[in-house]
Structure 1
Amino acid sequence: MNYMLCTTTTTDPIIVFSENRSRISVVNNNRIEIEKIQVDGCLIDVKLEKCDWLFCYGDNAKKAVFIELKGCDLDKAISQLRSTINHTKERYRAYKKECYAITTRVPKHGASIRKRSIDFFNQTGATLSVKNSPHSINI
């Protein structure tokens, strides 16, 4: 995996990740330096399951955020996020990990999504948020 080839660094106030009709915006009001890494189509080989993007930031409290932009197949999105965490675990061992599955149509937020998030955390140590597109997060 060639991290240097797949990474761009930015301090933009708004960083947008989008694919088809799924979209997430990262609001970076403090203009923190962010490493934006294209996972799908660059970092991880085509044969393996992987999420679309990953970004990381922070000096002391390092954080890695994994993003999967999906239509409505939530199970596939969760599987891709889990797989990417496993493939990158050595590099991001010391990072707090968050995952976002951004879908165009997600089932009603209820017990099943909560259970999936808890199972995901127990398996990976990363939080999982399932959100409808478009979504925005502040860092």
Structure 2
Amino acid sequence: MEIKKECTLSTTDSKIKCEENKRKIIFINKNRDNVDKITVDDCQITSGLRCDYLVKHAKKEYFVELKGEDIKHAFQQLARSISILGSDDCQLRKCFVISSRSPLASAQIQNVRLQFKRKYSSDLIVKNISFEEDL
């Protein structure tokens, strides 16, 4: 799927923030490279399961879901978003679930992490409230 210009913010800011309802992730852009922050939910994808944001930097993709407590639903949203928007030539892919609180046991999350690694060649990171990631 082609990325819509109206859904994309291209920036060289040192910090790229994705936030919603006190949950946030900040991508640290030390070199001030050009980064695309794509609003997926209700812009790039308007129906069905979808994550909140996709941040693209060089051949790297960072899929973001800012969630309340329904972590299992977040995994489904990320999986569908990757299947629609993921690039074949991606060299690094990471998925982030930033939740208000995670009710899943770490063993359950570990199993889903393995599935994401195998099926989507993606790391899966689940954090509460706030997180920072270097690009």
TM-score (norm 1): 0.89
Q: Which amino acid aligns with 2:71?
A: L
Q: Which amino acid in 2 is paired with 1:133?
A: I
Counterpart-to-counterpart distance in 1, 2:115 and 2:103? 18
* Matched residue SS, 1:44: coil
- What secondary structure sits across from 2:127 in the alignment? strand
Summarize the alignment of residues 1-139 of structure 1 with structure 2, pairs less than 5 Å apart: 2-45=3-46, 47-58=47-58, 62-89=59-86, 92-95=87-90, 96-107=92-103, 110-139=106-135
Aligned residues: 133
Identity score, percent? 33
Secondary structure of 1:25's counterpart equals: strand
Q: Distance in 2 between matches of 1:108 and 1:68?
A: 16
Matched AA of 2:111: K
Q: Which runs of 4+ in 1 moved over 2 A?
A: 107-110
Structure 2: unaligned runs, 5 residues or longer: none
TM-score (norm 2): 0.91
SS in 1 for 2:24: strand
Q: Deviations 1:40-66 (Å, cap 9, x if unpaired)?
A: 011012x210000001112xxx10110
In structure 1, stretches of 5+ residues that fail to align are none
- 1:102–1:110 Cα change, 3 Å: same
Contact 2:66 / 2:98 at 8 angstroms: preserved in 1?
Answer: yes
